């Protein structure tokens, strides 16, 4: 089996045209295990075959542990109906997965349909290292959402699943007529968890994505909506992962989590809006 760095090297040599320098926006060329621009900025592959495009070390609140739990939940089938829906829009696409975390969503899609060589990035290095356990032809890197290290009109699809967005950058790196697929929580998403975490705080129990949807409509054309709502039976040995995978858990004590995992989490509601818009 190929080493991770060899896999990364092969990718940047074959697909150097997908990238651009995040410092000076010049084109990049692959040299051995690095990508270099004509102004001398150089980005070296890590041993895991990833590239690090941030100027400064980013302090991330996200922990490796949280991404491992997230992967467990995705692998346990919690998002299967979502993945089945997304796969239908991803056949033969060249995908950029924005804020890909540990990469499970893109990997599951690559398992289901054929993709062109695709890229996932996140600001959290820990998550990107986990993503390299993947065996598909996907390239993983650490990058800044507001200054993407990719050339203009490179990708045919941007996936933006539960992650922040920068629509100016999305439009720049998307091909003409390319699509953005954005997945955002709807009002019932993980409602059992919110209720358990914040039993006395109704404002935290409720969630509205209205502003997010409006902004998306202003940024892309021919927007298609799909609301996906279902209940997922949480396998008993996954209840702890469900509690640990979400930023919702911040500020909740382990004792409280322990009692929630025992009692209230047999079923969890997944309630999502999927927005698909075109770049013009």
* Residue list 39-78, contact with Zn ion (CB under 5 A): 39, 41
The answer to whether 37 contacts Zn ion (rule: CB under 5 A) is yes
Measured CA to CA, the distance from residue 273 to residue 258 in angstroms comes to: 30
Tell me which of 24, 58, 84, 233 binds Zn ion, using CB under 5 A.
Answer: 24
Measured CA to CA, the distance from residue 214 to residue 197 in angstroms comes to: 29
Tell the smallest beta-carbon distance from residue 100 to Zn ion (Å).
24
The answer to whether 35 contacts Zn ion (rule: CB under 5 A) is no
Which CB, 37 or 242, lies closer to Zn ion? 37
The answer to whether 23 contacts Zn ion (rule: CB under 5 A) is yes
The answer to whether 172 contacts Zn ion (rule: CB under 5 A) is no
How many residues line the site for Zn ion (CB under 5 A)? 7
- Whether 184 and 209 have beta carbons less than 8 Å apart is answered as yes
Tell the smallest beta-carbon distance from residue 25 to Zn ion (Å).
7
Which CB, 21 or 265, lies closer to Zn ion? 21
Closest of 135, 83, 75 to residue 112, by C-alpha: 83
For residue 35, the cross-strand partners are 30, 43
Phi and psi (nearest 5°) for 139?
-100, 140
Stretch in the footprint of Zn ion (CB under 5 A) among 15-23, 50-58, 60-68, 140-148: 15-23
Which CB, 39 or 116, lies closer to Zn ion? 39
Residue ranges in contact with Zn ion by CB under 5 A = 21, 23-24, 26, 37, 39, 41
């Amino acid at each position: 089996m190929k080493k991770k760095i060899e896999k990364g090297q092969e990718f940047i040599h074959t697909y150097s045209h997908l990238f651009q320098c995040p410092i000076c926006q010049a084109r990049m060329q692959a040299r051995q295990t690095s990508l270099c621009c004509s102004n001398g900025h150089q980005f070296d592959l890590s041993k895991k075959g990833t590239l690090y495009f941030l100027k400064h070390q980013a302090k991330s609140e996200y922990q490796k542990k949280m991404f491992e739990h997230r992967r467990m939940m995705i692998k346990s089938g919690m998002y299967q109906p979502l993945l089945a829906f997304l796969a239908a829009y991803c056949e033969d696409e060249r995908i950029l997965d924005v804020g890909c975390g540990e990469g499970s969503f893109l990997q599951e899609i690559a398992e289901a349909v054929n993709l062109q060589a695709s890229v996932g990035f996140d600001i959290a290095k820990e998550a990107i290292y986990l993503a390299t356990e993947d065996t598909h032809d996907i390239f993983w890197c650490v990058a800044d959402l507001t200054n993407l290290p990719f050339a203009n009109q490179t990708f045919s699809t941007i996936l933006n699943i539960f992650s922040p967005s920068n629509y100016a950058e999305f439009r720049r790196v998307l091909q003409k007529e390319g699509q953005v697929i954005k997945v955002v929580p709807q009002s019932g998403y993980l409602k059992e968890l919110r209720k358990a975490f914040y039993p006395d705080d109704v404002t935290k129990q409720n969630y509205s994505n209205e502003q997010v949807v409006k902004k998306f409509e202003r940024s892309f054309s021919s927007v298609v909506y799909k609301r996906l709502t279902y209940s997922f039976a949480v396998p008993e040995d996954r209840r702890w992962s469900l509690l640990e995978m979400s930023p919702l858990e911040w500020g909740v004590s382990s004792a409280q989590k322990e009692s929630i995992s025992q009692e209230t989490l047999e079923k969890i509601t997944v309630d999502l809006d999927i927005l698909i818009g075109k770049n013009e």
